[in-house]
Structure 1
Amino acid sequence: MGEVSLLRLYLLRLGYLIVVVGLGLNVWPEIINRSGSWELMEGVVQCMLLAFWSLCVLGLRYPLQVLPVLLWEVAWKTVWLLLVALPVWTSGQIDDATMEMAISILWVVIFPFLIPWRFVFANYVKKRGNLWA
């Protein structure tokens, strides 16, 4: 952990805190005040958001160990913006629901500035993997 400065760790914790507060304000009321059952995909999304929220709570204490969760978040949101939102936006056919989703997903732009990329490269790209057998 000596590779990552205390400032970078606090910036990373700030990222987790943003997720914990933001999702906490949006997801928990949905779960607590739910009446009846969810449709299939809404239930999947809510459960995934709750799991992501829980892992981000852990990230407040263990920011580097939970880093793959933030990398996944940056990856899927970037892919969605590039493959779903951008084509319909550039064609001038974006609807209100897609625009609303794109705006909420654009929060992802802060995370690349918080992630310690040298650590990511050293530990996930350069470092030898575990044995297969």
Structure 2
Amino acid sequence: MSRVIPAARIVDATAVDEELPTRRLNVLRFGYAFMGVGLAIVKWPLIQNAHSLPVMEGVVACLLTAMSLLAFLGLRYPVRMLPILLFEVTWKVIWIAAVAIPHLVSDDLNAATREMLFNCSFVVVIVAVIPWRYTWRRYVQTPGDAWR
């Protein structure tokens, strides 16, 4: 049984992909550079001694180092690597909503949580560079790939 999609909802993926002007792509590249350089400065030095970190800190250091490498790939392919920026925004917004805001409301924000909140607040730069209209059309309105 095939699913019928109303003609008004069908968005040609190729048309969506070719839509961003060079200026907009360069704004996206700035976001990738901001994320990649920031993570490289903070996380790459930890990789040398990752074996001596507590397990979860080592996992986070490795994961964020991988994210920085993928962000650098976004300099070359800004549209194709857009999910990396979306992941960055998503995990930080979830952390702020689930961890930081409850501590702020109950007025028991400790130094470590305050520092993490400060670091996560830089997500506003990534939020600002994402082409949200394009993202909506590409990932919500465009039909997904066939399951079979």
TM-score > 0.5, shorter chain as reference = yes
- Aligned with residue 115 of structure 1, among 110, 130, 135: 130
Which residue of structure 2 aligns with residue 16 of structure 1?
32
Aligned-partner residue type, residue 113 of structure 1:
A
Which residue of structure 1 aligns with residue 7 of structure 2?
none
- Aligned with residue 6 of structure 1, among 18, 22, 28: 22
Q: Cα RMSD over matched residues?
A: 1.3
Scaled by the length of structure 1, the TM-score of the pair is 0.94
For 1:80 and 1:35, the matched residues in 2 are separated by 23
In structure 2, the residue corresponding to 1:111 is in which secondary structure? helix
Q: 1:110 to 1:36 in 2, by over 3 A?
A: closer
Scaled by the length of structure 2, the TM-score of the pair is 0.85
For 1:79 and 1:28, the matched residues in 2 are separated by 24
Q: After TM superposition, give the deviation of residue 119 of structure 1 in Å.
A: 1.4
Aligned-partner residue type, residue 56 of structure 1:
A
- Aligned with residue 26 of structure 1, among 20, 42, 59: 42
Percent of aligned positions with the same letter in both sequences? 42
Which residue of structure 2 aligns with residue 48 of structure 1?
63
Radius of gyration: which is bigger? 2
Q: Which runs of 5+ in 2 are unaligned?
A: 1-16
Q: Which runs of 5+ in 1 are unaligned?
A: none
Which residue of structure 2 aligns with residue 82 of structure 1?
97
Q: After TM superposition, give the deviation of residue 38 of structure 1 in Å.
A: 2.1
Q: 1:36 to 1:58 in 2, by over 3 A?
A: closer
Q: After TM superposition, give the deviation of residue 35 of structure 1 in Å.
A: 7.5
